[in-house]
Amino acid sequence: MRLPSHREGWPFIAIFVAANVLAFAISVWLGWVFVPLTIWCIAFFRDPERVTPTGEGLIISPADGVLLPLVHAAPPAELGMGSEPRLRLSIFMNVFNVHVNRVPISGTVEALSYRKGRFFNASFDKASEHNERMSIRIRPDNGAGELAVVQIAGLIARRIKCDLIVGEQVRRGERFGIIRFGSRLDVYLPPGAQVLAVAKQGVKAGETVLAKLS
């Protein structure tokens, strides 16, 4: 049986639980003060199952959170996708969202690139350009044009985890990584993709349809 928490969180959960037990040993009152923090830590690393929608060319959300205003921007230069602006869908994750990331579309991982950077608030547009990030280029199975997925560290986030490798075949909705604690994911759509989500909409990784390939 799969544990309901992501493996990246196990050491943190163990530390918080041990600290909470120690707090109770010192003082019952102190122990109860720490209980909400322990519950939050367990909740942060939760990894629920998701039912991914089926359908040709659907692009689903890679993260839980809120869809920020849609903009046109060039994909990260390190991915080699050119400087032509594309429609970018950005999802902001706060510290209470599920932070496990999922693949938006079935295809092949063509490129991966990690870049160090700063830690601006992930809700700011400048976070896409200046913050620490992991950029992923995926070629969809139907050949409708490549898209980019970018994991971006936020103001509090200090670790980006990506389990993908170049050349790997991926399926829509499967887990590929996690960011802690509070962050952002950008999706750069192929030309001609039809956007089905709207700004300020709440989205769920692996379930919410963001767009559809032409």
Tens digit of each residue's pLDDT, the chain (214 residues) = 445 877 777 788 888 899 999 988 898 888 898 899 888 878 778 888 999 998 888 999 999 999 999 999 999 999 999 889 999 999 998 888 888 999 999 999 999 999 887 777 666 777 777 788 899 999 998 777 899 999 988 776 567 889 999 999 999 999 999 887 668 899 999 998 999 999 999 999 999 999 999 7
Rounded CA gap, 203 and 53, in Å?
Answer: 13
pLDDT tens column, 46-80:
888 999 998 888 999 999 999 999 999 999 999 99
8 A C-beta contact, residue 146 and residue 81: yes
Query: What is the Cα–Cα distance from 178 to 159, expressed in whole angstroms?
Result: 8
* Among 66, 68, 86, 47, residue whose Cα is nearest residue 204: 66
Three-state DSSP at 203 gives strand
Q: What is the pLDDT of residue 122?
A: 67
Helix (H) or strand (E) holding 129: helix 126-130
DSSP string, 53-86: PP-TTEEE-SSSEEEPPPEEEPPPGGG---SS-E
Say if residues 119 and 131 touch (Cβ distance below 8 Å). yes
- Catalytic positions are 183
Q: Which residue has the tokens 């938006």?
A: 104
Query: What is this structure's pTM?
Result: 0.84
Q: Which fold has domain 58-212?
A: Glucose Permease (Domain IIA) (2.70.70)
Q: Cα Rg for the chain, rounded, in angstroms? A: 18
CA atoms 98, 140, 76, 194: torsion sign: negative
